[in-house]
Structure 1
Amino acid sequence: MSHSEFDPKHFVSNLTTRPGVYRMYDVNGELLYVGKAKNLKNRVASYFRVTGLTTKTMALVSRIHSIEIAVTKSETEALLLEQTLIKQHRPPYNILLRDDKSYPYILLSNHHHPALLFRRGDKTDKGTLFGPFPSGSAVKESLNTMQKVFKVRQCEDSTYSNRSRPCLQYQIKRCSGPCVNLISDEEYENDVRHARMFLQGKDQELTAEISAQMSAAAADMEFERAAELRDQIIQLKHIQEQQHVYGQTGEADIIAAIIQPGGLCVHVMMVRKGKVVGSKSHYPKMPIEITEGELLSSFIAQFYLGGIQELPKTLIISHQLDDAEALVEGIFATTQKKIEVLDNVRGQRARWLELAKLNAEQGLQARLSDKRNHFSRITALQKLLGFSEAPMHMECFDISHSSGEATVASCVVFGPDGPDKKRYRSFNIEGVEAGDDYGAMKQALTRRYKRVKSGELDAPDVLLIDGGKGQLTQAEAVLKELGLVDIFLLGVAKGDTRKPGLETLYIGSKEDEVVLPPDSAALHLIQHIRDEAHRFAVKSHRRRRDKKRRHSVLEEIPGIGPNRRKELLTAFGGYQELLSASQENIAKVKGISAKKAEEIYLYLHKS
């Protein structure tokens, strides 16, 4: 496979399992298909199965050159965003409505026993219309939900007037049977009122009212009625998600910036009339030595002053700008439109900003792990190191501890496709003085490369050490002692300011120092490997530290299970108080015999 081709297996392996929307593009960048998913990883993976695909799906898959994703907070939000994008772009492989101007509505009819009905087009029916909704499927989904929760009829008046006995909907508990008087007018009106509140978005008031009715029913010993109301509340809480992708009002562009070693990302999410009508991640080439605020300022100036994008009323940004006032004045001077720039928002706007940040993080993570991008970085590293072939196996070590407590060394492995997490290893460091990072590094390297020397493990092409000359010395000594002199050493030391992009590299020895420019592809790969080793070391250390802190000495005493430990700690209040207790006092605890008290006392004082 050429490294310029799309690799679905690698792409899917790095996808999130969150809900969201995916967009498939051809080699010319034309949008082929927009879809939604409850689990992005599983849904996208289903397109690349070996068997079971339809002719249409196979035709679509054969044209895919790239896939972009937009993460959402829920499947409902993904559905609404999907419909917006389909209407906006009309992708050739999506099912398109023939009449985009005819929106679907829900009608609450004007009848003695009102019905909830699906309506589209002319609004001539008598009653109250709720909508419009983004699609017919959204209306049907809402009606299906209200059938289960409120049991308001959904049959046409002609069907209602001709019923002499309850229909199937009554039998499966999706209608209360007003057509044959199986519910009183008062009770039915109460259900209709609740359905109306639900459609009006009065979620909190509705839940509070039903909760009060449930409590009253329980107080009156009407337990079956209370149980029904309880089930209603559970269903309502399940479906009444706070919308982030689809709100009531609002017109804004939400812009989130993220900077990580190896890449930058600016994600723009456009909200019009409360709906997210589009989003896109941008990856500008800029110096690493820059703050998120400076990145946003530069991006906004180019994006809006250049007339690329229509101006909303508000820009909601992830970081504060030093030149926000000048930027607003500049935009007004060139467009005669006054906008506001906000970085401190609450409520719905804060949820939009949180979603934009999430998409920026996911977009940059996907870009950093992209196989084609990784190959270009490996090629740049090959040139830097003077290798005849690209390094296909790289390892990096890092040390993590809390003031010497629970020291752990990490070893991460990078292959031709990027991080090979199945081959990651962590080493619990023992017998080394607390805080001795050099000793910890030496122990971890010795344990790892003894197995390489014995032939159990393959030797890496490059061994990357995070920590500068001191740590590099330990690595040189270990490899020399084991006779593994063919492994290429690469040391990485942080600069004086400890900021990404200013690292000093020691290539092959402590004397050969190199400082690469911040936009170097080789440096970005080294930073990615180094940061991954640091992340894995911190994760492993915290796991070991927390496990140690949760451990109780009482767990080591034979014959003392959870119940006896609980009784002992309850009686004495803690381990130190138990340690100072006499054997006679221990024997007074419930479930502790005189013999067991003696065993506990001797164990606690054995040293």
Structure 2
Amino acid sequence: MSKTNLDIQLKTIPESAGVYQYYDKEGNIIYVGKAKNLKKRVSSYFTKTHDSGKTRVLVKRIADIKFIVVETETDALLLENNLIKKHKPRYNVLLKDDKSYPWICIKKERFPRVFPTRRLIKDGSEYFGPYTSMKTVHTLLDLIKGLYQLRTCNYDLAEDKIEDGKYKVCLEYHLGNCQGPCEGYQTEEDYQENIKAIREIIKGNFKDSLGQFKQQMKDYAEKMQFEDAQRIKEKIEVLENYQAKSTIINPRISNVDVFSIVSDESFGYINFLQISYGSIIRSHTLEIKKKLDETDKELLELAIVEIRERFNSKSKEIYVPFKVNIGEEIKVTVPQLGDKKHILDLSLRNAKYYRMERFKQIKITDPDRHANRIMAQMKADLRLSEEPRHIECFDNSNIQGTNPVAACVVFKNGKPSKKDYRHFNIKTVEGPDDFASMEEVVFRRYKRLLEEEQPLPQLIIIDGGKGQLSSALKSLDLLGLRGKIAIIGIAKRLEELFYPNDPIPLYLDKKSETLKIIQQLRNEAHRFGIEHHRNRRSKNALNSALDTIPGIGEKTIVELLKKFKSTKRIANAKLDELEEVVGVSRASKIYNHYHKE
């Protein structure tokens, strides 16, 4: 379709809620979106200057536009979700429709069985779930089995068949795991009371079961049936222990879905917690790959609809970190404090942990993707014009004014490149002057790189505040590199990042990966510098004791140290041992020096 036809379409789009679909010239759907006002939303694609390259490419590929008008924004949200699943447009976030989650089934039959399943059969049975792992299902079923005696056989326990004596009790009855309804040892009313209690436990309500067991224990105790009372007491302890582990907030908070999101340059991670009677009865985290620099709000709205549909949630209220538009029939709460804020923070922590685990997996299985993500994050966090694939960090090691040295460590793609590390002995500065020392080593480093036509870094980090940074900038000015290499200073006390000509420092999130990389660079430079400084001091101290002996030169000292390894051993050596190494004359001078009366 020509640009003229697109312009006509844009002018005729209604100002209604609905879903829009973009097609390429081959007639393929390449993007589906929802809007409260179709005209404003679709027009914005063609009137705004987009920061994202992917969005610009999408707009260039649009050859045709179609739209579907709906009654409400909620209808638009649901329709968008279904269309994305059906057509899988290239530029949309794709959500997998996973049908293999486990459920707990209470079978519709006389004396219902309770068992796990991954298949939903529309036969009137009750299904609770889906759960995010079979482990959760088995934990819950083990609890139920310990509290209530249920049948596990698949016999048709019709009343006439039981009366005719068609079935005989099995081993489960003799083990005490079943009360034998197949032979009429348990009434249907009694069995259904158990099923009613089990249904509440699965929903997270332990109150009724606890009350029932406590009354039973009391009745047994009054009848002096202490063994039965003890058995019920053990069930109460099991139930209370399970409840204590699962209840994490106020039990009055029930039938609520909680959603939180963390995101980076490429992905969004949405955590979902379902709360019933103060207990988390379900937890799931969804990873969504960004296609067009979607905002957290857009990703969260999309994920809420998908997750609630996937897990068949009927909750009437949701807790979220910020306002979202998912329909008027659902109450949206943004907690600020108290138990509600506590559970939202817990969800956010789950999302962060999931993100960290994914990073660890990616780092192992796809190190290039990990490095690319780190570099993109550092570029954004530090406001750089290009990714800092090559970073160099400088540190002065000037202890008590002696043997001043400096260190330069190099990171490439976020990892130490130790073969490129360099240390410097300060040559032009007298006394402890950190600013002048920094100016010298930065000048020497980049003068050499320029002379040898070696690649320059994209980022220089100076361990120090404004003064150190200013000194380094003087050297870059002299070399004509000012503005060609990004440079920042990091002050130790508050981890402040200083930029040239900017008096206000930048403070990164203390847990951000960018700050951790910078701290790693700074610490590595400090370690490398201290190590070199210590070696210089040791060497000077070692040589100084022998240098003071008249007639003993550097060559003799080297020969002695090769043989005896230390000045202490030389001092304690016998005269004939020294003579074997350096001859009679020099051996006498050394021996006499150390054995003066």
- Give the TM-score band, short-chain normalised: 0.3 to 0.5
- Report the TM-score, using the length of structure 2 for normalisation: 0.36
Q: Which of the pair has more CA radius of gyration?
A: 2
- Report the TM-score, using the length of structure 1 for normalisation: 0.36
Q: Identify the structure with bigger relative contact order (alpha carbons < 8 Å, sequence gap 6+).
A: 1
